[in-house]
Amino acid sequence: MKIVEPKYEILTDISEGGIKELQQIERVARVCYKSEDKITPDGESAKKLVGFLVKQGHEAMLEHSQLSVLFTCDRAIANELVRHRIASFAQESTRYCNYSTEKFGGELSFIRPYYIPCEPTEKAIKAASSSEDFIKLETDYQIHNAWYWSCDDAEKRYKILITNGLRPEQARCVLPLCLKTEIVVTANYREWRNIFKLRTPAAAHPQMRELMCPLLHELQKKIPVVFDDIQTLWPADDQTRKGSMVK
């Protein structure tokens, strides 16, 4: 049994400063106004025009550029991602992946939700000085163990079913929602804006924010103006795995 961290990887190559991506949008958009003569090779005209389009809500032009991102998350979050209809998806299949084989190291991988504490360390136990500290450590221990051993049991039951002749698509019925999965999401910039508006506010699911907020911040650095107006609060010290959510 393996515990892995949620993460994302941008699969689409993004040009230096995101200029080529903006120029693609500009080239298409200027057909509407027949203002191709205003295109400048340095990309400044593209920044200005795309910024104008976003401000005016003329986001249809953003559909002419797209982005693919690979997310490593649990099945519950993947189930939320595929609800975005104007996107394309490719997901690790529990129907065809046999996790009992050597290809997967003979083990299943699970995502530890941020709200499940790690098993208390020896250092934490030694640092405890009050009854409240010890109560919290005991509570953390109980929560961690309940989650960990339920995953461990699911893995054992899955392997028993496989050993007794069930196919992966049948044995998967005993697997929990925290099973690790990989899913590629491909969408145009307009839909990514919609995804970020829905998935990064404080009211969004914390595990979704755990992926989407850092992704949004990275894209704001790599691609000018397209996502700049989408604001979200997120821990500056990246206390993600401790469940520190800024509201």
Tens of pLDDT along the chain (247 residues) come to: 999 999 999 999 999 999 999 999 999 999 999 999 999 999 999 999 999 999 999 999 999 999 999 999 999 999 999 999 899 999 999 999 999 999 999 999 999 998 998 887 777 777 777 888 778 888 999 999 999 999 999 999 999 999 999 999 999 999 999 999 999 999 999 999 999 999 999 889 999 999 999 999 999 999 989 999 998 877 644 444 333 333 3
Cα dihedral 146, 4, 116, 100 in deg (nearest 10): -20
Task: Evaluate whether 154 touches 175 at the Cβ level (below 8 Å).
Answer: yes
Instruction: Give me the DSSP letters along 132-187.
Output: HHHHHHHHHHHHHHHHHHHHHHHHHHHHHHHHTT--HHHHGGG--TTBEEEEEEEE
Task: Evaluate whether 148 touches 178 at the Cβ level (below 8 Å).
Answer: no
pLDDT of residue 246: 37
**What gap in Å lies between CA 114 and CA 239, rounded to an integer?**
10
**What gap in Å lies between CA 64 and CA 29, rounded to an integer?**
9
pLDDT of residue 235: 67
SS3 content of the chain, % helix, strand, coil (to 5): 50, 15, 35
DSSP, res 111: E
**Length reported for the chain:** 247
* H or E segment and range at residue 25: helix 19-33
Task: Evaluate whether 28 touches 61 at the Cβ level (below 8 Å).
Answer: yes
pLDDT of residue 39: 96
pLDDT of residue 123: 78
Instruction: List the structure tokens of 82.
Output: 């595929």
Nearest to residue 183, comparing CAs of 88, 71, 100?
71
